[in-house]
Structure 1
Amino acid sequence: MLTISLVLLVEHTTGSYGMAGAVAAVTGVALALCAPRGGRLADRYGQRAVLVPGAALHAASAAALVALALAHAPAWALFAAAVPTGATVPQVGPMVRSRWAVALAGRPSAAPSPLLQTAAAFESVTDEFTFVIGPVVATALCTGIHPAAGLIAEATLTVAGGWLFAAQRRTAPAPHRAAKGGDRRHVSALSVPGVRALVIAFLGIGTVFGGMQVSITAFTQEAGHPGLNGLLYGTFAAGNMLSGVAYGAVTWRRTQGWRLLTAYAALTVACVPLWAVRPLLLLGGLGLVVGLCIAPALITGYTLVEALVPPATRTEAFTWLTGAVALGQAAAVTAAGLLADHAGPHAAFTVPLTGTAAALMLLVGLRRHLVPDPRNGGTPGVIGHRTAVTVD
């Protein structure tokens, strides 16, 4: 709800989609850069210690942004308020995934529970459901009640949901503080090569989300059917949901690294014909195919984190992936918007292809880092395994 609410509010007060998109992009970049820090704090001090003040700060920042926008404040003031609004978005999704990893963990020497893949698929499906419903609700509030209603509702839901989630203490992972007097140092989850490889993969996935959103909007407007924008993007999101359900129901025998590379290659191939499509019906069908290819890559990536990263930095690792999607989306929104303005909507569809193709080539080169370390609870694959990173 945050991005679309910002766009509608700022466009209403400034009359510029360019300014609205820039403010939303600043929020996305701030989220991407600050989310891992929040994940690290949650690992060290507990999720509740981060969620409760974080949700309150986000609501206060969103309220300030609403006030500035309605007061027709200058651009620099909107950008300044957008930074804390994005930086304080509570990372509930990564925290939920971290709780699943704890709840379904077996003995330290045992292989990961097969239910972890099902849990990751469930989270992917529910995430995508919010991507379908959230923009619809936000748009209805902004256009039917008040331009600021969407952002106010987003902040209210964030506080309510964040605090209710924080109250569930029984499932929260125990904090991993450094021992007093010890010499162990905290090492970021990003120091694990496998996490860096997954960040690249999720950056590419973010370009698909951002590129498809802008390209479909520009395409339907040029075709004279702007009302079909929601339907076409909903078809794309529905493909993601359907494949998430199917993927989570299957017990896979191939290694996780192999599945990630295969799913990513399929996603890249699915993005190839988008720029050449003309009929709206065919675009909807191709959007469905692209959506079908996203969930397997997302689910496998999130499942790999449980095996690649020690428990002490697991929440932080999940937030790096979430932040990577947000950063890729922000970059794609900007690039696709410029291409749509200067070369037409068909050129904008090259953004998802470029992002996934570049990420796929890097992933192939880094594939040896996608093999779980048995000492983190994973099972070795056919390529070999790495040594664990020292963390506290």
Structure 2
Amino acid sequence: MEKSSLASQPMPAPHTTPTPRPSRLPGRFARLPELAGPGFLPLGLFARLPLAMLTVGTLTLVTAVSHSYAIGGMAAGAVGIGSAIGAPVLGTLADRAGQRTVLLVAAVINTLAVAGLLGAAYLTPAYASPMDALAVLVTAFLAGASCPQVGPMARVRWMALTTRNLSAPVTGHRSVAANRADLDTALSYEGTADEITFVLGPALVGLLASLVAPWLPLALAAIMTITLVPAFAVHPSHQAVLPHPRKPGSGVVSSERQNRGRRATAVVAVPVLAMVCMGTFFGATQNGLSAFGAEFATAEVAGLLYAVMGLSSAVAALSVAFWPQRFGLPARWVAAALAMSALSVLLLLPAGMWSMVVVLLVLGIPVGPVMVTVFSIGGLVAPHGRMATVMTALASGIVAGTALGAYLGGQLAQDQGPGGAFLVSMAAALGLLVLGLVTWLVLRRKSAA
């Protein structure tokens, strides 16, 4: 296996390292501000909120002004496709040119794209055909493709900071195991931050659109992008991640190097496919809950039900920081995915709203640990100089999988009710288990070799 790009990076000069300051956070999480420097945690949390608002905000705005659910859905789909394609491109550019430059440029382009989407939406006539809404679809795609990938970039920084600690001589009371625990803690926090923003984002969109105007959520997202993302981009923690520009003449490679590259790509493809399964689980579950909610109240209650699962998932993601080091990453993946596969069967049982709430609370417990573990595995198998590319590819897998799950779940829910959509959720969870077993076998073979 090729080593992570960050593991082979030289340690940054001392004056570039964020100055540690005392933290009031409890336990292991108190180490995070010391590692990344002041202000990083709130910046990393709120700067990713526009991404969580963009898809639902586009769906809400375009549907409201065009009076067409079809065009609204197409615009939201264009955002998802743009994000799935654009995120790895931004990650590759960040690997080559550095995070700061890429994030600053992406913040400006995305703000302009969202402004263009707002204008195009209000210029589209009501009850228009999809061809009349072409400008909306194009600007929605551009908004998704240019959206700054703050979450994946933050994970890359954490990996750089903790890897630097692992490669440095152990001094004082810090041990190698404690430094490795820092990475578990950081990625646990990141998983919780993702869960919080992807629950808070749609809720904020619904609140602002219903109480004020449908354009306000996207306008607020643009303002947050142009202010918070640049602040995140220039935060001193970005100096821990060294860019890897393409060297002259690197276009000519030996057959041995090509074979190594293909093997590395195949290994990376496993966690990416796992994130596609995770997104499929999310999308199908959302559609299943919409159909389930429509049987008892309204389809809109699905957002509240889904937030229940997000709550327990976020708490469980935080708990990974306290899992023993001897419980390795592949074993964690398999154990959590096995629990997720078994518990997803419970989605077929509830006959009322409160029983579904209980099921979702229990089902969310293995979801967060699976996400945290897959991101950790992605960092472990990332080829040299490709950490941001891999992290953004994992995030794109979730986006693409969510679209796939929403489509498949919607088709089955239309014909078979919520149970049909939940069957897709169960299949996605089983796929996560299979891929976890594959990863376990591959890594065991690598370590044995």
Q: Same fold (TM over 0.5)?
A: yes
| 1:1-392 correspondence runs (5 A) | 1-72=53-124, 74-105=132-163, 106-107=166-167, 113-172=180-239, 173-180=241-248, 191-226=264-299, 228-369=301-442, 371=443, 382-385=444-447
2:249 and 2:396 map into 1 onto residues whose CA distance is 33
Q: 1:61 to 1:326 in 2, by over 3 A?
A: same
How far did residue 192 of structure 1 move? 3.1
The answer on whether the counterparts of 2:330 and 2:436 sit within 8 Å (CA) in structure 1 is no
Give RMSD over aligned pairs. 2.5
Deviation at 1:20, TM superposition (A): 1.9
1:362 CA drift (Å)? 4.3
The 3 A distance-change label for structure 1 pair 57 and 17 is: same
1:31-66: CA deviation from partner (whole Å, max 9, x where unpaired) = 112211110110110001111111111111111112
Asked if the contact 1:21–1:334 (Cα under 8 Å) also holds between the matched residues in 2, the reply is no
Deviation at 1:189, TM superposition (A): 9.6
Q: Partners of 1:46 and 1:124 in 2: how far apart?
A: 23
Are the equivalent residues in 1 in contact too, given 2:192–2:314 (CA < 8 A)?
yes
Q: Deviations over 1:215-260 (max 9, x none)?
A: 2223212212556434312211001111012122222312211211
Name the CA shift for 1:170/1:120 in 2 (closer, same or farther; >3 Å): closer
Deviations 1:49-84 (A, max 9, x none): 111111111111111112121122523332222211
Compare 40-49 and 208-217 and name the one that shifted more. Answer: 208-217
- Letter matched to residue 205 of structure 2: A
Deviation at 1:181, TM superposition (A): 5.6
1:366, CA displacement in angstroms?
5.0
Structure-2 change in CA distance of 1:275 and 1:7 (3 Å): farther
Residues 213-222 or 23-32, more deviating: 213-222
Q: Which has the larger radius of gyration?
A: 2
- Give the conservation status (yes or no) of the 8 Å contact 2:58–2:76: yes
Provide the secondary structure at the position in 2 that maps to 1:147. coil
Structure-1 separation of matches of 2:295 and 2:408:
18
Mapped contact 1:125–1:241 kept (Cα < 8 A):
yes
What amino acid is aligned across from residue 146 of structure 1 in structure 2? A
Task: Give unpaired runs (5+ residues) of structure 1.
Answer: 372-381, 388-392
| Structure 2 CA distance for partners of 1:33 and 1:235, relative to 1, 3 Å | same
Change in Cα spacing, 1:108 to 1:37, as seen in structure 2 (3 Å) is: farther
State the 1:289 CA deviation.
1.9
d(CA) in 1 for partners of 2:266, 2:329: 16
How far apart are residue 171 of structure 1 and its match?
A: 3.5
Question: Quick one: structure 1 residues 194 and 182, their matched pair in 2 at CA, closer, same or farther if it must change by over 3 Å?
Answer: closer
Residues 201, 134 of structure 1: CA spacing in aligned structure 2 closer, same or farther, 3 A cutoff? same
Contact 1:275 1:348 in 2 (8 A): no
- The whole-number CA distance in structure 1 between the counterparts of 2:343 and 2:143 is 34
Q: Would the alpha carbon gap of residues 279 and 252 (structure 1) be closer, same or farther in structure 2, given more than 3 Å must change? A: farther
Amino acid at match of 1:333: A
CA contact (8 A) 1:235 1:288 kept: yes
Aligned partners of 1:34, 1:71: CA distance in 2, in Å? 26
In 2: Cα distance, 1:155 partner to 1:287 partner: 33
| Letter in structure 2 aligned against 1:97 | R
Tell me how far apart the structure 2 counterparts of residues 42 and 189 of structure 1 sit (CA, whole Å). Answer: 22
Normalised to the residue count of structure 1, the TM-score between the two structures is 0.88
What is the aligned-residue identity percentage? 28
Distance change in 2, residues 1:137/1:307 (3 Å) = same
Contact between 2:340 and 2:366, CA under 8 Å: does it hold in 1?
A: yes
Change (3 A) 1:340 1:66: farther
After superposition, the Cα gap between the structure-2 partners of 1:126 and 1:184, relative to the gap in structure 1 and judged at 3 Å, is farther
- Unmatched runs of 5 consecutive residues or more in structure 2: 1-52, 126-131, 170-175
